[in-house]
Structure 1
Amino acid sequence: MKKINLKYSIFFPVLGLLFAVLISCERGFSDDIDLATFPNTAEIFTDTPVGLTDAFFISFDPAGGANTSGFGTDTNEAYEGSTSIRIDVPAPNDPEGGFIGGIFKDRGEGRDLTGYDALTFWAKGSTTATVGLFGFGTDFIDNKYAVALTDTQLSTDWKKYVIPIPDPSKLVQEKGMFIFSAGTQSTNGAGFTFWIDEIRFENLGTLGQPRPAILGGQDQTGQANIDTSVTLMNLSQTFNLANGQDVTVSATPAYFDFATSNPFVASVTDTGVVTVEGPGEIDPETGMVDNTAVITATLAGVEAAGSLTISSTNIDVISIFSDVFANVPVDNYNGFYLDGFQTTLGGAIDEGGNNIIDYTLLNFVAIEFYGRDGSGVQPIDATDMTHLHIDIRPNETVEASDFFRIEIFNNFTQGSQLAGTFTISGSELLSNDWTGFDIPLSSFSGLTSKDALGAMIFVSDATIANISLDNIYFYSEN
């Protein structure tokens, strides 16, 4: 399991910890007071929208490329009854927008969905295409309890789809009834049509084996400075359906209950934001400072897979590529040139909720950050940085004679001056597994200046043809 070292550039204060005393009180409600309740209507669309206004559909913003003309009803296709929702997915170059999507919103007071455990619907496609997003809980206001099922494969016959509710007890007044978004990534740019019918919430009673997860189910480690914050990502809930199939949905932090093992080091909010609060306390038994906190979560009382072990430290960082903190602007992660000689393919991709850089047919490729083609990106001043961190995973068997070379260029716009090189041998890498490297910048042969770094080039001359990279950043240990 890959572990990520998180490093941030926040000044380490010399002030001590501030403690806040929270005083709570309880007030009872009179037995004569009735708490507000909301409709528990299950149906969203049968032959018509149920409990919704005629303007129940709200499209994504056309300014962002959404097509608003492909949504309607169809009296020639229906799973039950006489009418279904028809959605015409546009081609990417459609002048009215290259994708289609939006939400069905309860414009009234909202619904009590605590008595249901899933959203279900029937769908079919004009072809076996993939719809990027189905879900609920998005109301275009706070989207507090949004849930998403991604990359749903359609059949050309009607099929029932189930989207589990991670924790129904949370949905006492929900207005986001349904969401979808579709493009033509799975059809190579060819537009297609799909139909949806019988959209409703149900109490199936057959969902089992709940398996919530944070951070994609990974146990990650990090180091961060006081007052640094990072948001927990890749939150999900998995259930086993009655047919034995597992269904995993992404879920917002509001479904989870987060906890910290050491509030003197790090706190975590109910929205999943982890903040390093202080250097920790002295352990009376060892006399050593405990500067580590473990962030965990539960969902509906079930412990979530994945955790963040974070240590309070004092490190400055300039991040080129990482999921867990802000990256500096770059021109690209796949700078290709020299047609006919360069063979490398690939770039930044999503792998199970974790963004990585994936290269195939690698002989050489660049990450550029000097303002290529007038982008306005500025070179990096790494004068105060002492190390380069990079995680490397060869996606093939590695021989000891293989190599992976990193070249850093300074003053890239002034003659492409090579600033330094560092070579990692095949014996230092693990086949099909991650290895983290913390390379002193002094180890880059020829590096004499770091004030205007403009490019980082990776070279293997095809000795390692397929490789993944992650967590690329410069840092300084004060």
Structure 2
Amino acid sequence: MKKYNLKYNIAIPILGMLCIVMVSCERGYTDEVEIATFNPNGEIFTDAPVGLTDEFFTSFDPAVGANTEGFGTDDDVSYQGTSSIRIDVPTPNDPNGGFIGGIFLDRGAGRDLTRYDALTFWVKGSTTATVGTFGFGTDFEDNEHAVTLDNVQLSTDWRKVIIPIPEPSRLVQEKGMFLFAAGTQSTNGVGYTFWMDEMRFERLGTLGQPRPAILGGQDQTAQINIDTSLPLSSLSQTYNLPTGQDVTVSCAPAYFDFETSNPFVASVDENGVVTVDGPGEVDPDTGLVDNTAVITAFMGGVLASGSLTVQSVDIDVISIFSDLYANVPVDNYNGFYFDGFQTTLGGAVVEDGNNIIDYTVMNFVAIEFYGREGSGIQPVDASEMSMLHIDVRVNENVDPSDFFRIEIFNNFTEGNQVAGSYTISGSELASNDWVEFDIPLSSFPGLTAQDALGAFIFVTDGTIANVSLDNIYFYNEN
């Protein structure tokens, strides 16, 4: 296997955790100015790197566990021609790193890919493993046009992978030709090999039924304080392939055009960051203040499914876990204790574009505000707050005798002082549906000093085994 020179870069190989930082400006041009054009070649690898240097592969950083020893070419295996790219996926305990991944980088001025509609390549594996991520548009600088296709299952025969370009007109000068990241999650820690060949951008002309989406295609509502910002998440584009199958890619905000229905309430920038700018205006007909704005998006003129209805509010909030407000630092959302007694599993997950907490096999569990050794996290000062808000969804049939109890601890590391508890009965909950609770802090007997809160303990004693939580915050209405 031929080895290529490597460069390293710190990055996390999934789009949702790539830092997207973009700066844009508008310039006025005259007819005398000649607009720069860039290399339109769509070829990436056909027996050898096309238009790339010997250092075209930039690995993820070994300091975060990336293995740099498993990348090269194979002159004995190819789909066409005489050579292919060979990737040896390491085992998790490999001393050189437990996963492999990186990008293929055009080290010139970049390429004009506006004439193409997909990245395609052929791939086969030594086994039917699942590769975590393939994609393009990541260059370890601004990653402005990052696109990923996740969880691609390999075959031991050659198969063509098609990754649609969400909006080709945006790729005027792209350097990020290819991205991959692979581990052994699908093989239970057993290493394997896969090969890639005939890698290129091409115009298929057969991709149909574009279905862009924001927020996982869900219509969501959020109450947000003025001068607070919230990034839109779970951005994607779906196409129907020539095979009749649908393929959905995750994509960066740069492929979308965002709009707000009420700029007096909220604005949205080209990065998909929504900012609440004001309380709204008085409707002259009703005399009421319209404090809502609906954020939508388009891609290539097609309305994306999903929207965010923003309601401008004036509430003092300390958010423990919520997408609606900036969360204060906490030690964890899944404090587990007492092996052999505590059964609870789970923690923070993403569901339909929302961050929620899922607990299973639950009897009790903690959200620790502070106290873990070396964390440096401070206790929560809720002395100016009067209410606790929490959303609860029971993911099973709920009986009236079931319960969900919330305990608040003072000085969590100094004697575990329970400041009080509040019990929600089964008759107040709903099976497989969210229920919102606004609980006065006066409902917690013993909560006399709110300036050093240490933790929540959630208790069901197994009466409810599967529960989801969201929007956990203290607040005080002005």
Q: Which amino acid aligns with 2:412?
A: F
In structure 2, C-alpha distance between the alignment counterparts of 1:406 and 1:264, rounded to whole Å: 39
* 1:430 match: 430
- For residues 305 and 91 of structure 1, the distance between their equivalents in structure 2, rounded to whole angstroms, comes to 40
Write the letter of the residue equivalent to 1:274. V
Q: Tell me how far 1:324 sits from its aligned partner.
A: 4.8
Residue in 2 aligned with 1:29? Answer: 31
1:131 corresponds in structure 2 to: 131
Tell me which residue corresponds to 1:57. Answer: 57
* SS across alignment from 2:367: strand
Which residue does 2:76 correspond to in 1? 76
Q: How does 1:366-445 map to 2 (within 5 A)?
A: 366-445=366-445
Q: Measure the CA separation in 1 of the matches of 2:354 and 2:299.
A: 21
SS in 1 for 2:373: helix
Q: Which residue of 1 aligns with 2:266?
A: 266
Contact 2:217 2:352 in 1 (8 A): no
Give the 3 Å change call, closer, same or farther, for CA 319–93 of structure 1 in structure 2: farther
C-alpha change, 1:325 and 1:56, in structure 2 (3 Å) is: farther
Structure 1 equivalent of residue 9 of structure 2: none
Deviation at 1:447, TM superposition (A): 2.5
SS for the counterpart of 1:139 is coil
Distance 1:409 1:25 in 2: 57
Contiguous gaps of at least 5 residues in structure 2:
1-25
Is the contact between residue 421 and residue 444 of structure 2 (CA under 8 Å) also seen in structure 1?
Answer: yes
Give 2:224's aligned amino acid.
Answer: A
In the alignment, is residue 104 of structure 1 matched against residue 110 of structure 2? no
Aligned residue number for residue 87 of structure 2: 87
CA distance in 1, matches of 2:452, 2:426: 30
* Structure 2 counterparts to residues 144-183 of structure 1, below 5 A: 144-183=144-183
Computed over aligned residues only, the root mean square deviation of the Cα atoms, in angstroms, reads 1.8
State how many pairs are aligned.
453
| 2:311 alignment counterpart | 311
2:120 maps to 1:120: yes
The structure showing larger relative contact order (alpha-carbon pairs under 8 Å, at least 6 residues apart) is 1
Distance 2:373 2:142 in 1: 38
- In the TM superposition, residue 303 of structure 1 has moved relative to its aligned partner by 0.5
Over residues 259-286 of structure 1, what are the superposed CA-to-partner deviations in whole Å (9 max), with x where a residue is unaligned?
1111111111111111111121111111
Larger mean Cα displacement after TM superposition, 415-424 or 90-99: 90-99
Displacement after TM superposition at 1:50 (Å): 1.0
Greater mean alpha carbon deviation, residues 376-385 or residues 428-437: 428-437
Deviation readout 1:367-398 (Å, 9 max, x if unpaired): 11221234322211111112222222211111
- Amino acid aligned to 1:157: D
C-alpha distance in 1 between matches for 2:444 and 2:68: 54
Alpha-carbon offset, residue 235 of structure 1: 0.9
Per-residue deviation, 1:99? 1.6
Q: How does 1:309-348 map to 2 (within 5 A)?
A: 309-348=309-348
Say whether residues 1:292 and 2:292 are aligned partners: yes
2 CA distance for matches of 1:272 and 1:350? 18
Amino acid at match of 2:461: D
- Alignment partner, residue 476 of structure 2: 476
Aligned letter for 2:467?
I
Q: TM-score, normalised by structure 2?
A: 0.91
Gap change, CA 1:304 and 1:328, over 3 Å in 2: same
SS at structure 2 position matched to 1:238: strand
Separation in structure 1 between the aligned mates of residue 463 and residue 54 of structure 2, nearest angstrom = 62
1:284-318 deviation line (CA, Å, top 9, x unaligned): 11111111111111010000111111122211222
Letter in 1 for 2:198: E
Partner of 1:283: 283
Matched residues in 2 for 1:254 and 1:85: separation? Answer: 30
**CA separation of 1:325/1:339 partners in 2, compared to 1, >3 Å: closer, same or farther?**
same
d(CA) in 2 for partners of 1:116, 1:477: 53
User: Deviation of residue 119 (structure 1)?
Assistant: 0.6
* TM-score calculated relative to the size of structure 1: 0.91
Counterpart in 2 of 1:193?
193
Which stretch of structure 1 is more off in the superposition, 36-45 or 167-176?
36-45
**Partner-residue secondary structure (3-state), 2:63:** helix
Q: Answer whether contact 2:117 2:201 (CA < 8 A) is retained.
A: yes
Residues 464 and 141 of structure 1, relative CA distance in 2, 3 Å threshold: same
- Percentage of pairs with the same residue: 74
Cα separation, partners in 2 of 1:324 and 1:95, compared to 1, 3 Å: farther
| Aligned 8 A contact 2:70 2:88 in 1 | yes
In the alignment, the residues of structure 1 paired with residue 77 and residue 436 of structure 2 have an alpha-carbon distance, to the nearest angstrom, of: 55
* 1:331 Cα offset (Å): 2.1
* Amino acid paired to 1:29: D
CA 1:100/1:249 → structure 2, altered by over 3 Å: closer, same or farther? Answer: same
Per-residue CA distance 1:422-444 (angstroms, 9 max, x = gap): 11122222212222222222222
C-alpha deviations, 1:346-367, integer Å up to 9, x for none? 2222334433221111111111
Offset, 1:86: 1.0
Deviation at 1:122, TM superposition (A): 1.2
Once residues 303 and 210 of structure 1 are traced to their aligned partners in structure 2, the CA distance between those partners, rounded to angstroms, is 10
**Contact kept in structure 1, 2:148 and 2:249, CA below 8 Å:** yes
Instruction: Name the residue aligned to 2:21.
Output: none
